Structures are given as structure tokens and as C-alpha cells.
Amino acid sequence: MEQKVLDPTVQKALVQFKALDEKITHFSSVIGLVDWDQKVMAPKKGRSVFAKATGTLRTEVFKLSVSQEMGNLLAVLTSRENVGALDEVSKAKIREYQAYYQKSKSIPADLFQEYSILTAQANDAWEEARANNDFARFLPYLEKIIDFKRKFAEIYGYEEHPYDALLDEFEPGLTVKKLDPLFAKLRESSVNLLDRIQQAGKRTPDEIFNQSFEIEKQKEFNRFILPIIGFDMEAGRLDETVHPFAQSVNTGDVRLTTRYLENNVRSAMFGTIHEAGHGIYEQHVNPEFEESVLQSGASFGIHESQSRFLENMVGRSKEFWHYFYPHLKKYFPKQLENVEVDEFYRAVNTIKPSFIRVEADELTYNLHIMIRYEIEKGLMAGEFEAKDLPAIWNQKMQDYLGITPSSDTEGVLQDVHWSFGGIGYFPSYSLGNLYAAQILRTIQKDIPDFYKIIANGRFDLIQAWLKEKIHQYGKLYTPNELIVKVTGEELNAEYLVQYLEKKYSEVYGL
């Protein structure tokens, strides 16, 4: 086998690049840990001062990422004559920094600073607006954020649609041109399926959940299932927050949070399984990628595919509950006394249009995303302005879900994302569902007994497959490369459409 011999200049640049990557990643790990701390552990009086300390760290990461040193190293390492000699891992690292550098180096420092201050203020304004159902309070900030995003899109550059420049931040390579047909197909079939479910008039026994479930028992059950479904408790934690999330520090330290509600036992249960999907992904990344930019999941969409896969395809399957329901009954014998497992299964798969995205079921969830996608796309194209959003929001809710919010608090003001400038983020959630269904199809080919092994509680076999095919690679591949490598084709909405059709036809006896 011929060994590639690197030019000494390239060799030297590679060593310097790796040291810079390691430094940036060390800083990022620390930022991840302290972000978790401030949400989960920090006493409230110290948070505002500490935010300035983390601001200093974030600025340092930004400066290193767009530094002259980084620019020079990337220039050497991406030059046509050198790139062929590089190994796959180095190329992937260079790709990640190159993308960020190309975008961010053109943002003038004072514009970035102004934008950072704006989003900090906008978040406070949004919180007040939501609490008081007062869209006007948030509007001036939203308008400025949209102005910034339009400016950034021009600076970042795009080929067809200005929204592409933002989508690419969350899902590298994603464009409106790719997303439109995927989402159109999913939207049409979802609206149609929802219509048929509602026409059928059949109900699931979800009144099971109109009972009180002791929080201490819920905690015990959540801690009981986590290691069984594959989360390594010696390489992670489970804590409580108002908004559940997963935060990876490194592959040996992944932290999940969940939320316990006495009158809603589903919230913590599926919240924990969902975050475990994110967390197991991070625990399974190849340890050789640690201390490098490759140490995390491939993209927001691929990440979401892993949480959705575990939450819905696995965690809301009949077989999952055939395995876990006898255990659950031990924790809640009184509440579940007269409830059979198949009733319970149907109850956790209730389809019901509702106003709040984070509480939506597996089918209508994607319709909530479509609404946000269409709004963001229209805003970026200049088809309408921020002030028009409440009316557009309510109209789309009526069109897709058949219900109209009675307030902006349960409508256009419900999500935090726009207040921190996260335009382009929402599609990741539905991409996750699309990826997940496509991965489900593939795993069922490799493991024909897929649902049988779930019924037997052999989640280790499923996790081993996910680790081998997806998790271990971290950011080595782009999301598109990865899905093709795993499933043999690019993202195809057909799999999710068929999955939903099949599952809910059975649940609702269509």
C-alpha cells in the first residue's frame, strides 16, 4: 500500500491546526458544562455576572475561529495541491472550520457585537411578551432580528433562496429547494391522515392520564429505564429543569434533564427517552474524536433523528410497552389497576390537534413545524413582515390543524427560538422525524426481529447497530453523506409518510 507523504509545510500546518482545534474544543466543552450548570445548578443571584464570564469565553472561541492564524492554516490545508494528501479525519475537521470561517470572517466585529446585545435583550422582551400575551412588546425586537438575519444571509451568501444561508447553519447543505418537496409531501399526507382519524370518530383511552402520578415514583421509573434503553449512567447524569435538554461535555460526561409533572406522567417519561436518544448518540462517538470538532453529532437534524427514533419509533411502539408496562404498573399499581397494556399503548399514541408544539403528538408535530418553516421562509424572502405574523400564524393553524389559538401566547409567541435569532432551526425537528423513519426502514432490514428484540428488552442490540452505523462517526460525515451511507439513499419523505400511515391506521382502526 502506498503511504501518502505530506509536504513539510502541510505537515506543520496540520500540527498547528490540530492544536488550535483542540484548544477551541476544550473551550467549547467548558462552555457546554457551564451552560448546563447555569440552567440546572447555579444559584440565581450569581447568574448575571457569570454570564459575562461565559461571554468572554465565547468571544475567545469566536476570535480563535476567525483568527488570522486559522485563516492561514485553512488556506494551506484547503489548497488544491494539498487537499488530496490529507486523511479523511483531518479533511472533516478542516471542512467544519472552513465553513464557519468563510461565513463568520466577513461579519464585521461591531455588527456581531450589536447583534449579540440585541438577542440578549430580545429574549427578555419575548419572556415578558409571552407572559402578558403582548406581541407588540416583542415586535420591535423581532423586526430588528429579521433585519439582521436578512443582512447575514447576504454576507454568508446563498445560491437561490436567502433562507438557504440560515438553514445551512443548522443542517449543512440544506436548501429550500431540497426541503420544499419533502415537507410538501409530508404536509399533505399528514393533513389527510389527521382528517381521516378525526372522521373515524374513534377515541383512544387517554383519560388514563387524567390522574395524579407521584413524582418520586416517576423519578424512580425514569432512573430505572435509562440504563436499560442504553444510557450509561457512569458517563452521564439525569437532573430536572423546566425545559428538558441534553448537554454533552465529552463522551464520558453527557447530561440529561427532564421535567416531572404530577398531573402528566407522559411528560417526564417521553422527555427522558427523547433526551436519552441525544445523550446516547454523544456517549457513542469514537473516543478518538474527543477534544476535536468532530466529537459531537453530525447535525441538528441527525441529532433529532436519534432522539425521535428512541422516543417514537422505539418508545411509543407496542413492543416497548409490552416490555416496560409490567414494570410501570409496579410503580403505579393504583393508577393502572384496570388498564391493559394495549390500551396503554393506544393512549400514549393519541392524536389530537393542540396549540403547543412541544406537547404535540407524533403526527401533528410536523404540522407545527411546517407553519414555522413557511413563516421563516416568507420572512427571509420579504413576502411579509414581522407585524403580519399573528394573523398568518392563526390562519395556518386553522388550515393545517383545524384549530385557532385564542391568544398569541398559545400561538406565535410560544417558542423561544426567534428571540435568540435561531431562524432556520425549526426544520431540524421534522428532518429528525424524516431521517428517523428512513433509518427505521434500514435497521429493520438488518435486524428483521427489530420489534421482537424490543419486546425482549434487548435495547443493547439496537444501540450497538446505531453506534456502529451512525453514532461512532460524530461529525466525520455531513448529514447527507451519513444518511446515504447508512440507508443507501438521500433523504426521502416516503418512509415517514408510510410509517405514520401504517401505525395510526392500526391505532385508530382506519
Among residues 13, 34, 371, 493, which is the contact residue for a second copy, using CB under 8 A? Answer: 34
Q: Give me the helices (H) in 351-458, please.
A: 365-380, 389-401, 427-446, 450-455
Hunting for cell 425537528 — which residue is that?
429
Q: Shortest Cβ distance from residue 16 to a second copy (Å)?
A: 15
Residue (50 or 384) nearer to a second copy, CB? 50
H or E segment and range at residue 239 = strand 236-240
In the complex, the smallest distance separating the C-beta of residue 58 from a second copy, rounded to whole angstroms, is: 11
Instruction: Give residue for cell 423546566.
Output: 242
Q: Angle at CA 21, nearest 5°, toward 18 and 27?
A: 140
Nearest-CA neighbor of 104 among 58, 146, 135, 138? Answer: 58
The CB-of-287 to a second copy minimum distance in angstroms stands at 8
Please state, as a whole number, how many other Cβ atoms lie within 10 Å of the Cβ of residue 216.
9
For residues 254 to 273, the per-residue mask of contacts with a second copy, x marking binding by CB under 8 A and - elsewhere, is x-------------------
Nearest approach, Cβ of residue 26 and a second copy (Å):
4
CA dist 228 and 323 (Å) reads: 11
Number of residues engaging a second copy in binding (CB under 8 A) = 40
Q: Residues 250, 299, 364, 394: which binds a second copy (CB under 8 A)?
A: 250
Q: Cα separation of 279 and 378, whole Å?
A: 34
Q: How many helices (H) and strands (E) does the chain have?
A: 21, 3
CA separation, residue 7 to residues 80, 81, 193, 483 (Å)? 13, 10, 60, 34
Which residue type, as a one-letter code, is found at position 161? H
The Cα 401–Cα 85 span in angstroms is 54
Stretch binding a second copy (CB under 8 A), from 22-30, 84-92, 99-107, 199-207: 22-30
Question: What crossing angle do the helices spanning 176-200 and 389-401 adopt, rounded to 10°?
Answer: 50
Verify binding: residue 227, a second copy, rule CB under 8 A: no
Could you say whether residue 109 binds a second copy (CB under 8 A)? no
Site string for a second copy, 282-301 (x = CB under 8 A): --------xx----------
Q: Which is nearer to a second copy, 46 or 326 (CB)?
A: 46
Are the C-beta atoms of 31 and 59 separated by less than 8 Å?
no
Rule CB under 8 A: say whether 35 interacts with a second copy.
Answer: no
Q: Which is nearer to a second copy, 247 or 306 (CB)?
A: 247
Q: Does 410 bind a second copy (CB under 8 A)?
A: no
CB-CB contact of 497 with 181 (8 Å): no
- C-alpha span between 250 and 242 (Å, rounded): 24
In whole angstroms, give the CA distance from residue 265 to residue 13. Answer: 54
Binding mask of the shown chain, residues 418 to 457, with x at each position contacting a second copy by CB under 8 A: ----------------------------------------
Alpha-carbon gap, residue 342 to 320, rounded angstroms: 11
HSE (CB half, 13 Å, CA atoms) of 344?
A: 23
Q: Applying CB under 8 A, does 223 fall inside the site for a second copy?
A: no
43 or 509: whose CB is closer to a second copy? Answer: 43
Query: What's the full length of the chain, in residues?
Result: 510
275 in catalytic set: yes
Note whether 15 binds a second copy by CB under 8 A.
no
Least Å distance, CB 64 to a second copy, is 11
Stretch that binds a second copy, among 48-56, 344-352, 361-369, 439-447 (CB under 8 A): 48-56
The binder of a second copy chosen from 16, 29, 175, 505 (CB under 8 A): 29
Residues 6+ apart with CB under 8 A from 194: 351, 353, 363, 364, 367, 401, 402
Is 290 or 415 the residue whose CB approaches a second copy more closely?
290
The answer to whether 64 contacts a second copy (rule: CB under 8 A) is: no
65 binds a second copy (CB under 8 A): no
| Catalytic residue (choose from 96, 275, 311, 376) | 275
Kindly state whether residue 327 participates in binding a second copy, applying the rule CB under 8 A: no
Query: Least distance to a second copy from the beta carbon of 174, Å?
Result: 31
- The catalytic residue positions are 275
Binding footprint of a second copy on the chain (CB under 8 A): 22-23, 25-27, 29-30, 33-34, 37, 41-50, 52-57, 232-237, 249-254, 290-291
